[in-house]
Amino acid sequence: MDKINPLSLITDSDPIPEAVMDVSGWFLTETMAISSASEDAQYIGWYLAQGWQRQADTIETTTTGQYWQWLDGSSPVDAAKHPSFATLGYDIFVRTEYFISGMITFRGRYFDITNTEKVHHLTRRRLQSEKVMQSLVTDFTKAYNEGREINDQRYDELVVLYDTMVDKTEDEINGLVETDDYYTGLMDTIAGLLPTDFAAYEDDVDGLLDDWGDAAKARVNTQFDNQSSKVAQGLVDRGMYNSTVWTSTSTGVEDTRAQALLEIDEKIIELQLKLKDRIEELRVRMRLGVLDAYARLMDIKQKNALRPLEFRNQMLTLMLTFMERRTDDYPGLDGIANIAAQLGYADTPSTVATTA
């Protein structure tokens, strides 16, 4: 029997280890600053409901412009007469004026106009649904394609194994058919020898009874010849021998002789009939034996022709049944839609708590 080595037809597909997924890129930290004096301050509660968390408030001072101020508690008569902020900046401006009473020095400078207000700080850590969705779909598609590739490879290998098994089986069946042809020819030869063997037997027994009974007839004739001589001698001894007496006496002896010889002939005929019946019986049995041998030969040929065919077809049926059972699953759009809905991609962004 030709061996089948399955390991030579199968590829060992080891699972591919997956790296630990870094999910930090899925989240985005967002911040918001709301002035207590702005209109948005009234919506802080709504922001908190949307996942925002309050951080420590701060006090912020903003500069809205500059104003001029004379120092030392005095100002010249023409108080507006001073350089522009673009020229002077925050430096002290000195102006000297002369009066009757003497010289007076005035000093002045620019100061900032400031606005101080409380600022509310909000922060949140938001899950980026689109990025998560894309990452999951990418990983899912990759794993799905790898799984389908391995399944298709395994399917092809199994089909090759089935094909190899069918091929090897057909080789073995063909070998058995050749052996059956040898035995079929042998049986055909034996069946052909039966008439020859019978003819040889018929030739051997033919003529065996041709000379059978000759010795018995000779013995009878000798017996009755002696008896006739004895009767004649007795007639002579008694002086009764003459043609009339002898004819009458010898007739009785010859009738008895003829009766004895007839019995022998009947036995010969009976034996010949038995022999012919035996030969005819053997001839009929020989012919029935030849017919039975050829009937068995035809039965063997039919079985040897059908059984390998049925076995081969059974192997192919198993292979086709296996191939028919193959099913390949495909991802549905509803599954991706469910993922999107669970991630909140369709409505509001998903948020997680952040540390203060």
Beta bridge partners of 58: 119
pLDDT digits (tens, 9 = 90+) for 57-108: 999 888 889 999 999 888 887 777 889 999 999 999 998 888 777 888 899 9
- Which residue in this structure is represented by tokens 């998903």? 350
d(CA 196, CA 191): 10
pTM of the model: 0.40
Distance CA 299, CA 284 (A): 22
Cβ contacts of 44 within 8 Å, gap of 6 or more:
34, 54, 120, 122
Tell me the chain's radius of gyration from C-alpha atoms.
68
Highest mean pLDDT among 23-27, 181-185, 286-290: 23-27
Residue 260 near residue 201 (C-beta atoms within 8 A): no
Q: Using one digit for the tens of pLDDT, what is the confidence trace for 211-228? A: 666 777 778 778 777 777
Cα 105 from Cα 82, distance rounded (Å): 13
pLDDT tens column, 235-267: 666 666 665 666 666 677 677 878 877 887 788
pLDDT at 182 over 60: yes
The residue among 5, 32, 249 whose CA lies nearest residue 124 is: 32
Which residues, including other chains, have CB under 8 Å from residue 60's CB and lie 6 or more apart? 35, 116, 117, 118, 119
Query: With contact defined as beta carbons under 8 Å apart, do 33 and 119 qualify?
Result: yes
